[in-house]
Amino acid sequence: MNAIERASPALAAKSDAKQNLEVADNQVTVGQSFTDAPKMTMRNVNVFYDDKQAIHDVSVDISKNEVIAMIGPSGCGKSTFLRSLNRMNDTVESCRVEGEICMDGENLYAPKLDVVELRARVGMVFQKPNPFPKSIYDNVAYGPKIHGLADTRVDLDEIVENSLRKASLWEEVKERLHQSGTGLSGGQQQRLCIARAIAVSPEVILMDEPCSALDPIATAKIEELIEELSQNFTIAIVTHSMQQAARVSHRTAYFHLGRLIEVNPTEQVFTMPEHELTEAYITGRFG
């Protein structure tokens, strides 16, 4: 613990065989957490499950149209943090969020804010593809329908086609739009879920390990897709694969035991990490 308390990166600790993976209570995030024109800003975020604290005092910005990757060993709280960005944690009864999470300057946890509106603006893609047991068409049309975005059938058709095209799924499914979405392959299902998310034109898309249940080829497709999507959307992606983070993201945030250790441009994180824990992680000394 004492080795880490030093604010500067302690390269001396590298040679220390018995590396200490504990984090100090007053750990400060190193690197470039804050940006000039942020889309979302998080300040001193703490998340608790009952009395157990899962996230400690995290402050970070996400800027418009950037892809930010969140990495870290399993159980480090990166998924919990992601889920608090569109208040999906509300569905967990014991979960409590403290601190300030804002989008365009508006506090997401303000009492009068409607989560329905929030989630329409901040979409989410989950770890395991979860298409509804409905047709492909109905899966994509679900969001526009419940939000009343399409006035006519033609509008709806257009939204569905556009979303499927953006998710590069259109060519594969245009002949069988009315077959069940659960009949697709895993990778197609995940792209369907992405299409479903972008059908309501969210401003931010959260992705919670979107490729962890997929094979390498499907993963490559999704990664390609993320790159395309980043032109229009702000994307926050949690991944357990460092290579993936390196491939798709502009900035990378490293989480460790519920604390945000380091945020830096992806290239820097993977070539010369500022913090020794980050370095230990990306060089595979634990994981």
Binding site for other proteins (CB under 8 A): 86, 88, 91, 93, 114-121, 123-124, 126, 128, 130-134, 142-143, 146-149, 155, 158-159, 162-163, 193, 196-197, 200-203
CB 10 within 8 A of CB 174: no
Distance CA(141)–CA(157), nearest Å, equals 8
3-state secondary structure of 219: helix
Closest CB to other proteins among residues 145, 250: 145
C-alpha angle 280/205/140, rounded to 5°?
Answer: 135
User: Whole-number minimum distance, CB 143 to other proteins, in Å?
Assistant: 5
Q: Which is nearer to other proteins, 43 or 121 (CB)?
A: 121
Q: How far is the CB of 263 from other proteins (least distance, A)?
A: 25
Beta bridge partners of 71: 254
Residue 225 C-beta: closest distance to other proteins, Å? 16
**What CA–CA distance (Å, rounded) separates 216 from 232?**
25
15, two tokens: 């040679």
Q: Closest approach of Cβ 63 to other proteins, in Å? A: 17
Q: How far is the CB of 88 from other proteins (least distance, A)?
A: 6
* Cβ partners under 8 Å of residue 112, min gap 6: none
Q: Residue 197 or 248: which CB sits closer to other proteins?
A: 197
Closest distance of CB 128 from other proteins, Å: 6
* CB-nearer residue toward other proteins: 118 or 220: 118
Contacts of 64 (CB under 8 A, 6+ apart): 37, 38, 39, 234
Query: 234 phi and psi, to 5 degrees?
Result: -90, 130
Compare residues 30 and 197 and give the one whose CB is closer to other proteins: 197
CB of 107 to other proteins, least distance (A): 17
* Residues belonging to the chain: 287
Q: How far is CA 28 from CA 42, 46, 276, in A?
A: 15, 14, 13
Q: How far apart are CA 283 and CA 192, in angstroms?
A: 34
Q: What is the rounded distance in angstroms from the CA atom of residue 261 to the CA atom of residue 256?
A: 6
* Cβ distance to other proteins smaller for residue 118 or 257: 118
Q: What is the CA radius of gyration of the chain?
A: 20
Work out how close the CB of 224 gets to other proteins at its nearest, in angstroms, rounded to a whole number.
20
CA distances from 165 to 33, 100, 134, 184, 222 (A): 34, 36, 19, 16, 13
